[in-house]
């Protein structure tokens, strides 16, 4: 971080037997000492700014859908997952998020013709018998989509308690139904 300080005070030497030493006026002691005092105030503000923590800015974690099959397989292509035969597909992928980050939104991009599609960011306790908990769910409509769901309060990442993953579930409607997922994006504030 830079201090944002540029010196402004420039001392001009007095010359013996030329300058009269005075308290008042542009070249007087009072004027010069005030200028030095103002310089110290600017230095003080710059040093104080070094000690402040900047406000966290949102980070977008963009993921290419690489879905592990749960019940029915997704087909993977360069840069995404697709199902072209109208059959159901169900998959999941793990997500690594930084400890203490606050999840704000889940965004999903792709296209579909028909059928029901659900993309959900979930967390699950570390214990073997724990149940998955949905955090944010996106339900895209037919056609090309770029949809996001936000969480008003945010969800704090607690890696010591939970693991995080995205599920993608598609219920096809006929053999002509095609669904393609091109991007998952999680927006979070770092801790």
Residues 159, 77 share a domain: yes
- Closest residue by Cα to residue 137 from 160, 167, 115: 167
The residue out of 54, 69, 99 marking a domain boundary is 54
- Residues 89-128 have pLDDT tens digits of 999 999 999 999 999 999 999 999 888 999 999 999 999 8
In the listed set 33, 54, 75, which residue is the last one of a domain according to the structure?
54
| Co-location of 151 and 73 in the same domain | yes
Domain identity same for 83 and 156: yes
Domain hosting residue 120, numbered range: 59-189
Same domain flag for 88 and 109:
yes
Residue 2 is predicted with a pLDDT of 57
Over the chain, what is the mean pLDDT?
Answer: 88
Q: What percent of the chain has pLDDT over 90?
A: 52
More confident position, 17 or 74: 74
- Global pTM value: 0.72
DSSP string of 60-103?
A: EEEE---PEESSSPPEEETTEEEE-SS--EEEEEEE---TT-EE
Both structure tokens of 46: 């710059």
Segment 25-46, tens digit of pLDDT: 777 777 888 888 888 888 888 8
Do residues 69 and 152 share a domain?
Answer: yes
pLDDT tens digits, one per residue of 129-147 = 999 999 999 999 999 999 9
Residue 167 has pLDDT above 60, yes or no: yes
Q: d(Cα 117, Cα 109) in Å, to the nearest integer?
A: 12
Using 50, 70 and 90 to split pLDDT, how confident is the model at 7?
confident
Domain CATH for 176: 2.60.120.260
Q: Are 157 and 188 in contact (CB under 8 A)?
A: yes
- Whether residue 46 is found in the same domain as residue 76: no
Residue with tokens 């599920």: 167
């Amino acid at each position: 971080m830079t201090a944002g300080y540029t010196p402004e005070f420039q001392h001009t030497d007095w010359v013996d037997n030329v300058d009269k030493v005075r308290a008042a006026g542009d070249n007087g002691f009072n004027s010069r000492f005030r200028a030095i005092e103002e310089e110290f105030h600017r230095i003080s503000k710059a040093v104080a700014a070094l000690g402040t923590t900047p406000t966290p800015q949102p980070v977008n974690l963009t993921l290419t859908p690489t879905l592990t099959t749960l019940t029915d397989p997704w087909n993977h292509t360069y840069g995404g997952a697709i199902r072209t035969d109208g059959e159901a597909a169900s998959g999941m992928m793990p997500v690594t998020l930084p400890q203490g980050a606050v999840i704000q939104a889940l965004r999903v991009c792709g296209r579909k013709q028909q059928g029901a599609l659900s993309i959900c960011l979930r967390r699950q306790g570390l214990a073997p018998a724990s149940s998955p908990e949905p955090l944010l769910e996106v339900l895209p409509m037919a056609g090309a989509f770029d949809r996001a769901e936000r969480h008003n309060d945010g969800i704090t990442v607690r890696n010591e308690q939970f693991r995080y993953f995205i599920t993608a579930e598609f219920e096809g409607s006929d053999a002509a139904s095609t669904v393609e997922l091109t991007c998952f994006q999680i927006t979070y504030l770092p801790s």
